[in-house]
Structure 1
Amino acid sequence: MRKKALSILAGLALAAGFLCAGLFVWASSLFSEPSAREVPSVAGELGATRVLAVFAHPDDELRVAGLLEAAKARDHAFTALVTATRGEKGSQVPKVARQRDLAQVRTAEVLKSGYALGIDEQEVWDFPDSGLAGVDFERLTARVEEAMERYKPDLIVTFWPASGESGHPDHMRIGLAAQAAAHRLSEMPAVDGYRGAKWIAYVVAPRRGIRAIGGEAGAFVAANEPAPDLAMKAKLSTRLRGWEIHASQEYSIPTTYRLSARLYYLLWGDEFYKVTELKERR
């Protein structure tokens, strides 16, 4: 009788294991994009040697951690990161500092995160967090254009302007400003031999996946994103380390999506990019 009971329990455990594995495979499939071709490095695939990432908030760079890390470590490209705000309006999860000091805390976090990713140069600007949509667009675009002239990238990395990958208005605004600046430079005569960026790589979310876990914002993102062209892996250890560095935001994924960061990234293993080619400057 005892052997029979143990046999039944073993069978149930095996069946449960198969069920869990099947559920994981199904859930993972939601975070795939059939249009995206898997590459080891987006910068390497394009032949980019200078990369400039333009984002809104401290921690946004974690959305493209794989691209930035591979560009530096694998392809030996120059990498730079612009963060347009200091993230002072963010909710602390967990609370690690006085709210009035959050801008300084998050500035330090993004600088440390960039260093861990091997980024060569960083700038953290002081545009208002959760207020980029209210900033004069010409002023914001001109600031991004100046950064492009300074760092001379051939690849710009930013948010898709119509969705911001998460639906955040700041994400959409900085994506639009980066797009406008890159296109404007491409139409101007070359300066000091710099002929402007050749490509913009817009980071986008897997549409079925973000719709499944993102609620109303996820549905908005899925409805306003293009099919990506390229996909690449990001190291799980790099992503988890990034959230440890961003201590004031470490639990933002569990808070937002009700998934542990580890499970979230096991499901969402790839970074996805829509790449557009820019007209070469004269």
Structure 2
Amino acid sequence: MLKLLGRIGAIVGGIALLVSMVGAIWLDSLFEEPGVKHVTSLTQELGAKRVMAIFAHPDDEQLVAGLLVAAKAEGADLGMITATRGEAGTQMPKIVHQQHLGIIRMAEALKNSYALGIDAHEVWPMPDGALERDVPFLSLAAEITKAFHRFEPDLVVTFWPESGATGHRDHMRIGLAAQHAVRQFEGIHVYQGPSNIAYTLMPRGVMQRLGGERGDFVAENQPDPTHSMPSNADAKLRGWDIHESQRDYVEETYLVPANVLYSFFDKEFYFVEEVR
């Protein structure tokens, strides 16, 4: 009887292991984009030497940490704009009185950008959660254009305007303004403006299967990615530690620890638009 029970236990354990392996393979497949061109570094692929990331909130840069770290290792100059201080965000965990959150998140953004190797970082005092409502579109695009003249990037990295990676209205607005600024840029002297825009995208499989209504919106409103490159889990995990007020965001949102998520979400996806 004991031998029989032992055999049954071994069979059950084997089945459980098999189910676990199949589940892991299925989950891993949700974070892939078939047919995309995989490169070791997007900036190297595009020959970019001056890169500017343009985002709405502190911690948005987490989506492109792999690109930024790789670009810095290649010797590129890096700039970043964070349009708001994130004062309307939800603390995860709560570490400060809400009225002081914008100050804390600005400091977190500056500290993380330093860790990523950003050479010039501007955090603007635009209203968190109200870019579309309270900031005239052409004024926002004009501020971005002025930043181009200051930094002279040849590659701009931002959100796809119709999905914003997460469906956040601020993300979509800043992406649209950056796109407009790049497309309408009129060069002066030697600098003729950015040559390419790289829009950060989410893997559609996981958004459709596990992202709910918002995930469906994102998947349906973003283009097919043109490129993928390795993520940088170490930089992203470090970034969540630096963004202390948002440290538990991944686990609260995706119901798994950040290190588990990044073991599957190990690539960054981009749609690259050549401008000039």
Q: TM-score, normalised by structure 2?
A: 0.96
- Structure 2 residue aligned with 1:151: 151
Shift of 1:14: 2.6
Shift of 1:30: 1.2
How far apart are the structure 1 equivalents of 2:170 and 2:223?
19
Aligned length: 275
Shift of 1:4: 4.0
- Structure 1 residue aligned with 2:128: 129
How far apart are the structure 1 equivalents of 2:61 and 2:78?
12
1:250 to 2:264 alignment: no
Are 1:152 and 1:196, in contact at CA under 8 Å, matched by a contact in 2? Answer: yes
SS state of the match for residue 123, structure 2?
strand
SS state of the match for residue 150, structure 1?
helix
How far apart are the structure 2 equivalents of 1:132 and 1:215?
25
1:234 to 2:231 alignment: yes
Shift of 1:237: 1.6
Deviation digits for residues 107-161 of structure 1 (CA, Å, limit 9, x no counterpart): 0101111111111111100000000102101110001111111111110000000
How far apart are the structure 1 equivalents of 2:75 and 2:14?
47
- Structure 2 residue aligned with 1:6: 6
Counterpart of 2:195 (choices 188, 198, 204) is 198
SS state of the match for residue 184, structure 2?
helix
User: What is the one-letter code of the residue matched to 1:155?
Assistant: L
User: What is the one-letter code of the residue matched to 1:117?
Assistant: L
How far apart are the structure 1 equivalents of 2:147 and 2:6?
67
- Structure 1 residue aligned with 2:256: 259
Shift of 1:3: 4.1
- Structure 1 residue aligned with 2:81: 82
Unmatched 5+ stretches in structure 2: none
- Structure 2 residue aligned with 1:40: 40
**Identity level (%):** 47
Shift of 1:266: 1.9
1:183 to 2:180 alignment: no
Q: TM-score, normalised by structure 1?
A: 0.94
How far apart are the structure 1 equivalents of 2:62 and 2:275?
25
Shift of 1:95: 0.3
User: What is the one-letter code of the residue matched to 2:69?
Assistant: E
Deviation digits for residues 236-259 of structure 1 (CA, Å, limit 9, x no counterpart): 221111111111011112222222
- Structure 2 residue aligned with 1:70: 70
- Structure 1 residue aligned with 2:119: 120
Deviation digits for residues 220-270 of structure 1 (CA, Å, limit 9, x no counterpart): 111101000000111222111111111101111222222222222222211
Are 1:63 and 1:203, in contact at CA under 8 Å, matched by a contact in 2? Answer: yes
Deviates more, 1:253-262 or 1:152-161: 253-262
Are 1:35 and 1:227, in contact at CA under 8 Å, matched by a contact in 2? Answer: no
Unmatched 5+ stretches in structure 1: none
- Structure 1 residue aligned with 2:208: 211
How far apart are the structure 2 equivalents of 1:269 and 1:234?
5
Q: After TM superposition, list the pairs within 5 Å mapping 1:158-169 onto structure 2.
A: 158-169=158-169
- Structure 2 residue aligned with 1:272: 269
Are 1:35 and 1:228, in contact at CA under 8 Å, matched by a contact in 2? Answer: no
